[in-house]
Each structure stands twice: as structure tokens, then as C-alpha cells.
Chains A and B, each alone.
Chain A
Amino acid sequence: MALKEQGAITGIGETGYSRNSGKSVVALQMEASLAAIADAGLAPTEIDGIIAYAPSGVVAEDFVTNFGIPDLRFSATTPMGGASAVAAVQCALAVVATGVCRHVLIPLGRNGASGSRIGARVREMPQFRVVGEFEMPVGAVAPVQLYAPMARRHMELHGTTSRQFGEIAVATRRHAALHGNAIMTAPITIEDHQASRMIADPLRLLDCSLESDGGAAVVVSAAERARDLRQRPVYVMGAAEGHPDSPSVISQRPDLTTFGLAKAAPRAFAMAGVGPADIDVAEIYDCFTFNVLCQIEDLGFCRKGEGGPFVEGGAIALGGRLPINTHGGLLSQAHMAGLNHVVELVRQLRGEGGATQVADAEIGLVTGYGDMGDGSLAIMRRG
């Protein structure tokens, strides 16, 4: 069966974002989830599906216990790192379309700043077993060190520059400063980006996302239920996930400059019945600036290799031809593994964007990227 518009995002919730929440990860996820459920006008006991974020250690059973959910009919995880949140939207769409569930909760929360750091976390994940055996021992231990060769190859093949990466950091920071719930709000310039210290060449400090504390959640409801709830529904027009060749080991990938998103994008656009030219606003997973540039190409906004010129001159800032990451993204708002991108897209398509609202935003997209190159994409429209 066709999944197009069989489900809608009916509720969104977020905690405040910070570097030291003072709360447990379970509490952060409950707080954000209760906000999302209330936003939808539902009672917590009406949630009948949960797609938990496995790396956080919080499982569906925690919600059953805390909310007293009497009859959970579906639970799953979408183990794709930063692509998990948007892949969960596809999964939720499938289960509400087929009648398994009415209201699926997608929670996410972490103490990424005050809890364990990324370098320690990745070494314990089974999907990095091969990298752990062969690449970490020679000194490629953190994601940025594994991703940097992709950026370097893009620069060498296509003439992409560090200043072009800086365009993404600068535009994103501008949006964070306007948003109201973002950790990094001090304005930055391209020169600030160029002066920031090198982390893993060619990626500098201001190319890297934050480590942060907080929680976010969304509710995906069956379309026929969504119409009767509190908020104007935001319909999921198309959704897909894609896994790159050599999904766990970047070094063995035939093309270092193409992500799994390149496989997902044609499927999601075909399901939605729209193309890149129809997109008014895009929330693009931004663990590092290069990943945004590469995804802009993989989504088809420009050809492979043209992402550098595409992002120049304010094109991706508010008022530009493709405003991206209107909340400040992982680079400047907070690192909620991309569920904050889903929340922000819904806010934009409801017209609740406030100071970062894209005028007349009707159709938008949100991407996920994770686990060395997995991709996910959801295209949504305002109801």
C-alpha cells in the first residue's frame, strides 16, 4: 500500500537545551514526550506505539511504566545513529498506515555534554566493530576523524573550500540566535570559522556539532485520527531510508562523497510526488558542515560537486533560496540526534517558526545522517 499522507505529525515537544541538564536521560525523554503528547491533545495512555532511541538506553518499557500505558501494540528501534530519528518517522508511518497503531511516540534525549562523550560512546557500538578492530588502533578513533577524509576528497575532486563549509556554520548560527531555544547564540563570521582551531583537517571546531543535554519528542498519528486532534496536522508526504555501500566502513566505500541519502532521496520524492524545487524549507542533519553540503547534493538540490557554490552568498540562510536549519541545527541549537530537526520542520509548516519562520512554508524536508553514512529523509506538508 502507498504510505503517502497516511500519517501526520500531530504533536511536538522539547525540553530546554543546555550543557548540564541536571536531570536524568529518562526524565529528559519523559518531559519532552509529555509535552509532545499534550501538544497533540492526547492523553499519555493513548500512545500505542513507541520507537525508542536505542543509544540513549531508554526503552519503550520506560514509557509504559512512567505513563501507565495499558496496551502498547508496537515497539521498535531504528538503529542508524543520527539517521534514526527520521527513519523512525518512516517506520511510524508504516505502522499507522497499516492499522497496527493509532499514535506512535518517537522520543529522544541525552546528556551528551554532561554525560559520556562521543569518543567513548562509539567504541562500544556493535556497528563500529570493524572500524574498532582495524581503524581505531591506527588513530582514527572519533567520527570526525573518520568523516574528514570524505570532506578532503570532496575538496580535492571538486574544489570545495573550507570557507564554503564556513557558510553553513555562519548561517546556522544566525538562525540559532533568533530561535529562542538554542545553546550557541553569539554571532560568528566566516573569519571566525577560519580562525577556529583544526580538529581533524579539513574540519575545524566551528565545523563540528555540539555535545548537549536535552530531550525532544514527536507523535505520529494515523491520518484519519490526526484531523480530530488539537493541532493542524503536518502530513508526511514521503519517507525513506538509505544505506550506503560499505555501510559501516567509510574507507572501503566506492565513492567517499555520496551518502546513503542518495538512495533514499529518489524514493521519498517519488512517494511525495514533489521534487527539490518544491521544497520551501529544509532541516538537514548537520553533525559536521561537510555533511550538510554533501546531503544538499545527494538530495538533488544541485549536482555532485556543486554543493560548495550552492551554499555561498546566504543562499541557505533565512531569505535565501533554500533556508536550512532554521533552529540552528546540531551545530548551534543542540545535538538531539536530529529529532530537533523534525520538531523544527513541523513548527515551520504550522507557521509557528517565530523569528525564524520561512514565509509561506508549505512543503519542507528533514534528513538524518548517521552511523558512518546511513541516510533518512521525510518530506512533509502543512495540513
Chain B
Amino acid sequence: MATEAAAKPLPEPTRDSKPYWDGLNEGRLLLQQCAACMKIRHYPRPVCDGCYSMEVAWIQASGRGRVHSWTVAHHPFHPGFKEELPYIVAIVDLDEGVRMNAQMRGVTPGEMCIGLPVRVIFERTKEGVTLPAFVRIP
């Protein structure tokens, strides 16, 4: 066991978020949309802050967006990420008007900038969870 990489913190889906994680497993980025007023929200939660409706629909996002900000992680705060250092975590403005964060792939820190166009990809971890990541759009 000692030779295996340390376990990463894994998501624990809730009743509110399970469709999001199921979507990632199927290669789809799903976002909540209020079934009453059509406002899109993220991360998943039970109430629309626009109209207080608790009726939820799920839409498939384009997966496209632009970098809002980022960091490059250098220090191993968690043993599960130690072997990946350094890595970039970006906050991305999705075209649907909400944000999410995920690691960047195939980009150097020097290439990062606000507004960099990206699209989501899906990565299956060895634990059997699918996590989002971003690559730049040429």
C-alpha cells in the first residue's frame, strides 16, 4: 500500500448535486436551471435565489468559457496532489453565466491570462470518479 499514491479528497454527492456528478460520469456538464424563472445557477443547491422556486431542471452546458482567474499550486497541502505539482487551478466563466473551477491541462503558467478561451474535458480518476478539467481552445 505504501507505494500507492495517497488518496485524494473525493466529492460526496448530495441529493441536490447527484445529477451533476452523474452527468460528469456520462461525459456531460450539467447545470441547474430554475424551472420557474429559467435562471441558471451553480454550484447545485435547492432554491433559486431569483424567484425562490425549488423546482429544478438540469441543462447540458456548452462546456465553453473563459478564464476569470487562476492559481498555480506549488506546495503540497494534501498528499493526494503531491505528485501533480505544480498544477494550475482556474476559475472559469462559463458561457452560461456561472463559474466553476478545475485544473488546466496542456497550458503553461505563462500562457494563462484573464479571458483565455477554454472548454471542459472529463477525466476519470482511479477511484472511479469523473472530474472536470479545462483545455484551451485554439
A residues bordering B, Cβ < 8 Å?
119, 123, 130, 132-142, 144-145, 148-150, 152-153, 156-157, 197-203, 249, 251-252, 256
Contact = CB atoms under 8 A, between A and B. Distances in A.
B100 interface: yes
6 contacts: A136-B9, A140-B73, A142-B78, A145-B77, A153-B68, A201-B71
Given A137-B10, A137-B129, A251-B99, A150 B69 contact: yes
A134 B24 CA distance: 12
A198 B131 CA distance: 26
A123 B77 CA distance: 12
Given A137-B9, A252-B43, 6 more contacts: A133-B14, A138-B132, A140-B73, A144-B75, A156-B114, A249-B43
B43 A134 contact: yes
Contacts of B87: 139
B10 A200 contact: no
B17 interface: yes
A200 B78 contact: no
Main secondary structure of the interface of A (DSSP, over half): helix
A200 B71 contact: yes
A123 B8 CA distance: 12
A130 B99 CA distance: 14
Given A141-B81, A200-B73, A256 B68 contact: yes
A326 to B, nearest CB: 29
A107 to B, nearest CB: 29
Contacts of A141: 9, 77-78, 81
Contacts of A197: 74-75
B11 interface: yes
Of A139, A144, A148, A203, chain B has the most CB atoms within 10 Å of the CB of A139
B114 A198 contact: no
B103 interface: yes
Interface of B: 8-14, 17, 42-43, 45, 68-75, 77-78, 81, 84, 86-87, 89, 91, 98-103, 109, 113-114, 129, 131-133
B77 A142 contact: yes
B72 A198 contact: yes
B12 A133 contact: yes
A119 B98 contact: no
Scoring B12, B73, B113 by chain A CB atoms within 10 A of each residue's CB, the highest score goes to B73
- Most chain A Cβ neighbours within 10 Å, of B11, B113, B131: B11
A198 B74 CA distance: 6
Contacts of B77: 119, 141-142, 144-145
Contact of A251 (B78, B91, B133): B91
B59 to A, nearest CB: 18
Given A123-B9, A141-B9, A153 B78 contact: no
B72 A200 contact: yes
A135 B129 CA distance: 14
A252 B9 contact: no
A233 to B, nearest CB: 43
Contacts of B81: 139, 141
A311 B18 CA distance: 46
User: Which of A137, A141, A199 counts the most chain B CB atoms within 10 A?
Assistant: A137
Nearest to A130: B43
Nearest to B115: A156
A256 B69 contact: yes
B25 to A, nearest CB: 14
Q: Which 5 A-B pairs have the closest CB atoms?
A: A148-B71, A201-B72, A149-B69, A142-B77, A153-B69
Contacts of B45: 130
B13 to A, nearest CB: 8
Of A133, A148, A201, A252, the most chain B CB neighbours within 10 A belong to: A133
B110 to A, nearest CB: 11
Given A119-B78, A123-B9, A251-B99, A139 B69 contact: no
Contacts of A133: 11-14, 17, 43
Contact of B74 (A134, A199, A249): A199
B69 A140 contact: no
A137 B71 contact: no
Nearest to A117: B77
Nearest to A136: B9
A149 B91 contact: yes
A249 B41 CA distance: 13
Given A156-B114, A249-B43, A134 B100 contact: yes
Nearest to B10: A137
